[in-house]
Amino acid sequence: MTPDRRLILMGLAAGLAGCASGRGSIAPASPPTSGLDFAEWTDVAPEYLLFPGDEIEIATPTAPELTRQLKIGPDGRVSLPLVGHVMAADRTLAELEADVAEGYAPYLRRPETEVTLRLAGPLKVWVDGEVRNPGVFDMPGDIDAYQAVVMAGGYLPSARSSQAALIRRGPGGVRMLRVLDLSPRRAAPVLMRRGDIIFVPRSTLGELAAFFTQFRAALPIGFSYALNGGYAST
C-alpha cells in the first residue's frame, strides 16, 4: 500500500444501507490469513445497524418535547437535549433506544424511548487492493461484486482476480470471509450488501493479513465490524 492510498482510506467516512445477497462461486482453497478468525459463511442477513447518513426519529413518549428527528453525522453521533452527543452508528435500533434511555434516566421519571429509521443513508462498499481507484463507493442500486470492482476503476495488471476476498458482517456482528473468482467474463454474480469489503490481492490472499494489520485501527465508521469482528467502539 502506498502512503497516499493509506491517507485516502484513513480519511473515509462511510454511511451505509442494506440490500439483498446473491450467489457466486467460491474458490476451492482456503486463504492463508495468519490466524485471522472468520465465522462460517451464511447468506442470512444480520440485524440492521444504523450508519452515518441514516435519518432517524428518537421519540420520548413520556416527554414529547424531547422527541427529535435527526440525521446521524459523519462521526456516527447524534445530538440530543440534556444528554448531548450519543453514538448511533454501528448500533441496532434497540441498542440505541437503551443508550438514550440510560442517558435520560437522571432527568426523567420514566425514560422510555422509541427509535425509528425514517430514511436509510447511502449504500456504500469498500474496494481495496490491486484496483485502480481503491476507496469507498456509493452503490447505485443493486450491484454485484464484479461491478463494485469496475466502480473502483477495474483491476491493475498485477491483480489476481480469481482470488478476491469478500469480507462481510454476519448475524451477531461476526465477520465472514468468502473467496470469489471475479475474473472478467467468468465472475458469478454475488450481490453486495451495505458495508461489504472487497480485497483484490496481488499474488495470494496471504496479503490479507497485512491489509488487516495496516488498516484495522483506521477503518471508516460502518466498516470496522467487518475487520474487527464486532461493533466500533465509542
The CATH number covering residue 160 comes to: 3.10.560.10
pLDDT tens digit at each of 234 positions of the chain: 443 333 333 333 232 223 223 333 443 334 444 456 788 888 898 889 998 999 999 999 999 999 999 999 999 999 999 999 999 998 999 999 999 999 999 999 999 999 999 999 888 899 999 999 999 999 888 899 999 999 999 999 889 999 899 999 888 888 899 999 998 877 678 899 998 999 998 866 656 666 666 555 556 656 655 555 554 444
Question: Is residue 31 a part of any domain in this protein?
Answer: yes
pTM: 0.69
Query: Are 200 and 142 part of one and the same domain?
Result: yes
Which pLDDT score is estimated for 186?
77
Look at residues 63, 97, 119 and tell me which one is the last residue of a structural domain. Answer: 119
Q: What single string gives the DSSP state of each residue in the chain?
A: --HHHHHHHHT--------------B-SSPP--TT---BPP--PPPPP---TT-EEEEE-TT-GGG-EEEE--TTSEEEETTTEEEE-TT--HHHHHHHHHHHHTTT-SS---EEEEEE----EEEEEESBSS-EEEE--SS-BHHHHHHHTT-B-TT--GGGEEEEEE-GGG-EEEEEE---TTTPPP-B--TT-EEEE-SS-TTHHHHHHHHHGGGPPTTTHHHHHSSPPP-
Q: What CATH number is associated with residue 113?
A: 3.30.1950.10
Query: Are 75 and 184 part of one and the same domain?
Result: no
Query: Are 106 and 132 part of one and the same domain?
Result: no
Query: Are 166 and 100 part of one and the same domain?
Result: no
Question: Is residue 91 a part of any domain in this protein?
Answer: yes
Which pLDDT score is estimated for 81?
96
Query: Are 35 and 134 part of one and the same domain?
Result: yes
Question: Is residue 234 a part of any domain in this protein?
Answer: no
Question: Is residue 209 a part of any domain in this protein?
Answer: yes
Question: Is residue 233 a part of any domain in this protein?
Answer: no
Question: Is residue 66 a part of any domain in this protein?
Answer: yes
Tally of structural domains, the chain: 2
Look at residues 94, 119, 144 and tell me which one is the last residue of a structural domain. Answer: 119
Task: Give me the domain span that covers residue 25.
Answer: 3-47+122-228
Question: Is residue 25 a part of any domain in this protein?
Answer: yes
